[in-house]
Amino acid sequence: MKKLILCLLGIVLLGTVTVLRPMREQEKIVQKAPQDPILEKIRAMTPAQKAGQLMLVGMEGTEPGKAFTKEMQENQYGGVILFDSNLVSAEQTKQLTGKLQSLSRENRLLIGVDEEGGQVARMKGFVEPPPSEAAIGRTGDPQQAQQWAEKTAGRLKALGFNLNLAPVADIGSANERSYSRSAAAVSRFVEGALAGYRKAHLLACLKHFPGLGKGKADTHVDEVTVDTDRDTLLQEDVKPFQDAMNQFPQETFAVMVTHVRYPALDAENPASLSKAVMTDLLRDRLQYRGIVMTDDLGMGAVSKHVTMEQAGVQAVKAGADLVMICHNPEWIREVHQGLTKAIEDGTLPEKRVEEALYRVLEAKREL
């Protein structure tokens, strides 16, 4: 009987060892599994570098000056937006974008431009501007939007750009900056444009969420309020953005949020500083997972009412992944200082910062 019991115990022990061995081996496999390289990169960054990656900045002149070069190298800005004041010829533009990329040692740089078409087009002296969105819309053919987007994207890529702040998805905007006054028509043309940018492998940017077509003033100057009820905003102005999100991989385009105030969505803040707009509506309700960026924080609608240090922090805290500051080097420094301090002291939660940085770095990896 004792021998039988001993035999049974031996079998049980042998089985236990057999079961535990593969479990331990599996644990080793898990421990040795490669870490997410994007997360590793984020966690190796200093607070100043994290803050820099959350910014899309402008520069002065036709080549990087000493101060800008130093700040680019130290702060590792996420991207640069260029204007006609920076761009003289095709050759100079290509050299400039190359220099800018060389300053971004650790991460590829987003280099953007506003090449919407019509009145809003850069480099007209050496790049054929697209027709205005209204002119394309009047053709009644969304294929025209696709063809022009693909053509424009090819020209921009040849000059070193990887981001175009277009197409405009607003309904009935002034100055020919909208495909149509019909939400359904705007959706069709926006989808055509996104198809063209995607085919050319250039990051597009839908703007100006949640739609500023009903705005009657200019956010460059001061506050603009749209007193439209929530249901109308969702059924009309938001529709082209929502349709695009349903039709295309969301990593293929960013969404720019306007500085317009929508009391039906947020009674206190402009959209670009609003959690109700960027997180509750855009992220949670519409399930958008790509890059959310602000319009230029230097516009009067923001700069006349909030300090630059506060503006950058409030925007990121509310849900922005990239904050744009197009002009004024001092404002760029102030935004950077505000973000750096907020990351260091926890005003910007680590999770929120990592989410934003992850989207930005992931988009760059695909370009």
Question: CA 244 to CA 248: how far, in whole Å?
Answer: 6
Among 201, 218, 220, 229, the active-site one is 220
User: H-helix or E-strand containing 14?
Assistant: helix 2-32
DSSP character at residue 290 = S
Q: In what order do the strands lie in the sheet with 55-57?
A: 163-164, 110-113, 79-81, 55-57, 322-325, 292-296, 253-257, 204-209
Q: Tell me whether residue 220 is one of the annotated catalytic residues.
A: yes
Burial class (CB in 10 A: 0-12, 13-18, 19+), 1: exposed
Cis peptide before 167 (omega within 30 of 0): yes
Among residues 340, 261, 354, which one has the least CA distance to residue 306? Answer: 261
Q: Tell me whether residue 295 is one of the annotated catalytic residues.
A: yes
Give me the residues paired with residue 255 across strands: 206, 292
Question: CA 258 to CA 304: how far, in whole Å?
Answer: 16
Among 295, 296, 321, 336, the active-site one is 295
Phi, psi of 292, rounded to the nearest 5 degrees: -105, 125
* Angle of helix 308-318 versus helix 329-345 axis, rounded to 10: 50
Active site residues: 220, 295
